[in-house]
Amino acid sequence: MADQIGIPAAYMRGGTSKGLLFDKKDLPSDREKLTKFLLTVMGSPDLRQINGMGGATSVTSKVCIVSKSDIKNVDLDYFFAQVSVDQSIVDYGPTCGNMLSAVGPFAIERGLVQAKNPKTTIVIRSVNTGSIIEADIPTPNNKITYSGQFKIAGVPGSGSPILLKFKNIVGGSTGKLLPTGQPTIQIEGIEVTCLDVSMPIVMANASDFGIKGNETSEKLNNNKSLLEKIEKIRLLAAIEMGMGDVRDKVIPKFALLSKSCNGGTITSRYFTPKTCHETHAATGTNCIAAACLIKGTVAAKIANVKYEDEYKVLLEHPLGSIECIVNTSSFHTTLDDKFINSCGIYRTSRKIMDGNVYVHEDIIND
């Protein structure tokens, strides 16, 4: 008799990320067992993740756990896990907007949501942050359509556009739009903005870190002194944000901002947090786009935007750009927690594999 147990899973690309998706009912409910299971199936800790499904980078070592929601007017609960590549750590604090684009199609294929013609609108709750996301999934003739002509930077080819509209996204981790109470603070002589919209981020001007801000992710990842300085500021900023010691956590993230190079709103180099993202996180896009509208922030001082109730922000990143549609409330000031109503981003998704992942029976039955 085989000593490995198969657990149903789908391996999917969501936006510019990739990972495993599970139905919650198939996984251990105990957090310690779940962590052990996820480390095993992804092959961590190991820089190559050779003994698991992980892709040896932070953006390809992700897990989504999906279930029907018990909350009124919400269809699905989405629990995200960031599995460390080289450490025995699974961080359940953040969420992932890119992988979120795979959650709707996965749920439809698993029968958790019934498809409608020509599109299926699914209301999803991020268990990690409490935010609500409305996803529009193209389902002509009540069937998932992955193929299409929509392109996103950082992904070869094209796909069917999935609209993700993020709501209730202010203060998910800290309880506040501006966790420090101010648009900017000084840390080690550096002006930073600490904002909590979809994802808590510490933002700074790229020039204050001795770079132009339009460098490739590879060049920035090879700049060890830069990464060390970023981590030092991030750790100190997290304390100011009331998040405590975050040395073993991936939030808050970090972003270095500069003026746009190709006609966009602003240029961003997004750190996850110890490496530069090759493109840009969707939740991070929401936060930086919102910052462009909030007077006095590092982003607002750099960006070229027009203040309207709803506007488009085009963030330039190492492999192209990503657009975010931000809806604001005209009844609140830009420093008010209720100023940001929602952020919308288009992504694509693709199912790569559907079947079982295998672990030793002790991992599940311990």
| 168 found inside a domain | no
Residue 319 pLDDT: 95
Is the domain of 103 the same as that of 213?
no
Residues 148, 14 within the same domain: yes
- Same domain assignment for residues 61 and 87: yes
pLDDT reported for residue 1: 55
169, part of any domain? no
CA–CA separation, 315 and 313 (whole Å): 6
- Looking at the 3D structure of the chain, how many domains does it have? 2
Domain co-membership, 42 together with 13: yes
pLDDT of amino acid 95: 92
Q: Is residue 301 part of a domain?
A: yes
- Reported in sequence order, the residue ranges of 198-239 that DSSP labels E, i.e. its strands, are 199-205
In a domain, 138, yes or no: yes
Q: From 142, 62, 70, select the one nearest 103 (Cα to Cα).
A: 62
Q: Residue 2: what pLDDT?
A: 74
Q: How many Å separate Cα 295 from the centre of its chain? A: 24
How far is it, in rounded angstroms, from Cα 15 to Cα 259? 25
Tokens of 62: 């992700």
Instruction: Specify whether 155 is located in the same domain as 25.
Output: yes
Q: Residue 330: its pLDDT value, please?
A: 80
Distance from C-alpha of 89 to C-alpha of 316, rounded to nearest angstrom: 31
Is 176 a domain residue?
Answer: no
> Does residue 45 have a cis bond before it (omega within 30 degrees)?
yes
User: Distance between CA 318 and CA 302 in Å, rounded?
Assistant: 18
Domain residues for 250?
185-331
The DSSP bridge pattern shows strands 199-205 and 253-258 to be parallel
Residue 366: per-residue pLDDT: 57
Helices (H), 154-216: none
We report the CATH number of the domain holding residue 16 as 3.10.310.10
Is there a domain that residue 199 lies in? yes
Peptide bond into 105 cis (omega under 30): no
Claim to verify: residue 201 and residue 299 sit in the same structural domain: yes
Separation between Cα atoms, residue 265 and residue 313, nearest integer Å: 6
Q: Does 281 share its domain with 217?
A: yes
Please indicate, yes or no, whether residues 220 and 141 belong to a single structural domain of this protein.
no
The reply to whether 143 falls in a domain is yes
| pTM flag (> 0.75) | yes
Q: What is the pLDDT along the chain (366 residues), one digit of tens a residue?
A: 578 999 999 999 999 999 999 999 999 999 999 999 999 999 999 999 999 999 999 999 999 999 999 999 999 999 999 999 999 999 999 999 999 999 999 999 999 999 999 999 999 999 999 999 999 999 999 999 999 999 999 999 999 999 999 999 999 999 999 999 999 999 999 999 999 999 999 999 999 999 999 999 999 999 999 999 999 999 999 999 999 999 989 999 999 999 999 999 999 999 999 999 999 999 999 999 999 999 999 999 999 887 766 789 999 999 999 999 999 998 888 899 999 999 999 999 999 999 999 999 888 875
Q: Give whole-number Cα distances, 122 to 10, 29, 343, in Å.
A: 19, 25, 16
In a domain, 113, yes or no: yes
Half-sphere exposure of 52 (CA within 13 A, CB side): 30
Query: Are 214 and 276 contained in the same domain?
Result: yes
124 and 194 housed in the same domain: no
DSSP state of 150: B
CA 48 to chain centre: 22
Shared domain for 320 and 357, answered yes or no, is no
**Whether residue 157 is found in the same domain as residue 237:** no
- pLDDT of res. 22: 98
pLDDT at 310: 76
